[in-house]
Structure formats: structure tokens, C-alpha cells
């Protein structure tokens, strides 16, 4: 997903959501390309993926952890990578467990069932972050 705002427009950004029917079908690459295209056309762009599952991560200047795909997208948009672009990162530890990273900080390890039950508690935080990016 990317938020797109004209540099001379102070209203809320428009949102463009990229969807695919499976993993590894190119959504992240398409998003990075669109971020670069809109940036070159004079728009302010911010990538956003509320939750990402990946083993590989990136450490920001602030020492926080986020998904690498959103880092590539941020760079394409001409922005410093920020954990707001990927507030929840799940790093699989087994086929049914993952390390949960929230806002770049390790929260803990959870089973799939535990995370599913915990996820509603994150909705407001994720919504607030998205709204800040869209301003």
C-alpha cells in the first residue's frame, strides 16, 4: 500500500492498495516501482504494510527493526525508512510460531493462535500510524 499526496496539497493523502492472490507474486516490487514513479512525478509517497512476515529484516538509524521490502519502497519514495511504514513484523521461528516485533521492538514469541487472539489489540495502534502517514 502507498499513500500518495501532491506536494502542494495539504489534504489527506490518497491511498493505493496493491493486492495479490499469493505470496511472492510481485506486490512489493510493484509497490516500490509505483513509489518511485509517483515520487518522480512530484508526489510525496509513503509505503505502508501494517504486518509483514519475513525472516530478513532491516535495522533503522534508530536501531529499530522493520521489513526489508518496506525499506526498498521507502528508498524508492525518497524517504528515510521508518518503522511506521511496517509497524508489525513477524519473524517465523517454527511453522506455527513467530517472534513478534511491534514498532521496531521485540514484543515476544507467540504461537499462531496466541497472535490471532492478540491481533485485535493492535488494530487501533496500526490505524493511528496509518493516519499519521496519510496526513
The grid cell for 12 is 489527506
Across 96-111, average pLDDT = 98
Residues whose CB is less than 8 angstroms from the CB of residue 43 and which lie 6 or more positions away in sequence, other chains included? 4, 5, 6, 7
Looking at per-residue confidence, does 28 or 135 come out higher?
28
Phi first, then psi: what are they for 25, rounded to 5°?
-105, 5
Looking at per-residue confidence, does 129 or 134 come out higher?
129
Q: What residue ranges in 1-135 does DSSP mark as E strands?
A: 2-6, 14-16, 43-47, 51-53, 57-59, 65-67, 88-94, 97-102, 105-111
Say yes or no to pLDDT of 132 above 80: yes
In this prediction, residue 135 has a pLDDT band, given cuts at 50, 70 and 90, of confident
- Measured CA to CA, the distance from residue 46 to residue 132 in angstroms comes to 11
Across 115-127, average pLDDT = 97
* Model confidence, pTM: 0.88
**Cβ distance 36 to 77 under 8 Å?**
yes
Q: Give residue 14's pLDDT.
A: 86
Query: How many C-beta neighbours within 10 Å does residue 130 have?
Result: 17
Domain-wise residue ranges, the chain: 2-134
Q: Give residue 10's pLDDT.
A: 56
Helices and strands of the chain, counted as H and E runs: 4, 9
pLDDT digits (tens, 9 = 90+) for 64-79: 999 999 999 999 999 9
- Measured CA to CA, the distance from residue 51 to residue 127 in angstroms comes to 12
Amino acid at each position: 500500500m502507498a499513500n500518495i499526496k501532491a506536494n502542494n496539497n495539504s489534504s489527506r493523502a490518497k491511498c493505493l492498495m496493491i493486492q495479490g492472490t499469493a505470496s511472492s507474486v510481485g506486490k512489493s516490487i510493484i509497490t516500490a516501482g509505483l513509489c518511485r514513479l509517483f515520487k518522480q512525478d512530484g508526489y510525496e509517497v509513503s509505503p505502508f504494510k501494517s504486518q509483514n512476515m519475513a525472516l530478513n529484516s532491516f535495522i533503522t538509524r534508530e536501531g529499530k527493526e522493520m521489513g526489508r521490502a518496506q525499506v526498498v519502497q521507502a528508498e524508492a519514495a525518497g524517504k528515510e525508512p521508518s518503522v511506521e511504514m511496517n509497524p508489525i513484523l513477524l519473524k517465523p521461528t517454527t511453522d506455527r510460531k513467530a517472534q513478534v516485533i511491534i514498532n521496531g521492538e521485540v514484543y515476544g514469541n507467540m504461537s499462531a493462535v496466541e497472535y490471532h487472539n492478540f491481533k485485535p489489540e493492535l488494530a487501533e495502534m496500526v490505524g493511528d500510524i496509518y493516519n499519521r502517514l496519510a496526513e
